[in-house]
Amino acid sequence: MEREFLLQATKKQLTPARWEHTLRVSETAAELARREGVDPDRAEVAGILHDYCKFWETDELVSWIKKCHLPEDLLSYHKELWHAPVGAEVIREELHITDEDILNAVRYHTSGRPGMSKLEKIIFLADYIEPGRRFPGVDEVRELAKTDLDQAVLQAMNNSIVFLIQRGQKVYPLTLLARNDMLDQIAEKHLREESF
């Protein structure tokens, strides 16, 4: 019943194409979750909700950023970043989502952040590799995602940062911090493996 309610509430917020994207993200996320030992139902819910505010007016997004005391530095970066942190606040208030891991997965699905949970990584990656995505580099990330969540997340972050730089755009600092942190996590994992 909860799932059906969330599906209907989200569908109303989105265009048909974005709704199809949302369904593919939630399916991809549930698959990754099963493999990674994360609750697939929570991954599915986070996938359904991740783009909840994608089509909100700029004014509305700005007023939520201010009202909820979200980091104001967002306002000097790309508008595309805003739907993620605002989405987390809106689904908490309007849909009564209280699971902090789901809220963080929505909040950080565009920028990433240092110290991402497995669920956060899964939503970040599912958003990037869902089967409808077609852009340079996506197949390489899909391949990595079959065997290594962290390497796939790192490669998706690398691609996004390079993409922004190639277009002469600013990169939100949290995205850079997230990518540095993935490098550290991967290096630490290799060190741990070597010491066995």
Residues 6 or more apart whose CB falls under 8 angstroms from that of 181 comprise 113, 114, 115, 116
Among 68, 75, 171, 186, binds ligand DGI (CB under 6 A): 171
Distances (CA, A) of 146 to 6, 93, 131: 29, 35, 13
Among 10, 13, 26, 160, binds ligand DGI (CB under 6 A): 160
Q: Which does 160 bind (CB under 5 to 8 A by kind): ligand DGI, Fe ion, none?
A: ligand DGI
Distances (CA, A) of 55 to 18, 51, 120, 138, 177: 9, 8, 22, 24, 27
User: Whose Cβ is closer to Fe ion: residue 24's or residue 184's?
Assistant: 24
Q: State both tokens at 73.
A: 């530095």
Among 6, 10, 172, 179, binds ligand DGI (CB under 6 A): 172
- In the region spanning residues 67 to 86, those forming contacts with ligand DGI, defined by CB under 6 A, are 77-78, 80-81, 84
Helix (H) / strand (E) element for 160: namely helix 149-166
Q: What whole-number distance in Å separates Cα of residue 43 and Cα of residue 104?
A: 12
User: Whose Cβ is closer to ligand DGI: residue 54's or residue 118's?
Assistant: 54
Among 90, 92, 127, 178, binds Fe ion (CB under 5 A): 127
Would you tell me how many other CB atoms lie within 10 Å of the CB of residue 144? 19
- In the region spanning residues 13 to 52, those forming contacts with ligand DGI, defined by CB under 6 A, are 51
User: Whose Cβ is closer to Fe ion: residue 155's or residue 160's?
Assistant: 160
User: Whose Cβ is closer to Fe ion: residue 89's or residue 127's?
Assistant: 127
Instruction: With contacts defined by CB under 5 A, name the span among 2-10, 125-133, 136-144, 152-160 that binds Fe ion.
Output: 125-133
Q: State both tokens at 100.
A: 């902090």
Q: Does 44 bind Fe ion (CB under 5 A)?
A: no
**Is residue 68 within 8 Å of 84, Cβ to Cβ?**
no
**Angle formed at CA 165 by CA 117 and CA 190, multiple of 5 degrees:** 40
**End-to-end Cα distance, the chain:** 47
Shortest Å distance, C-beta 8 to ligand DGI: 20
User: Whose Cβ is closer to Fe ion: residue 157's or residue 191's?
Assistant: 157
Residues binding ligand DGI (CB under 6 A): 51, 54, 77-78, 80-81, 84, 109-111, 127, 160, 164, 171-172, 175
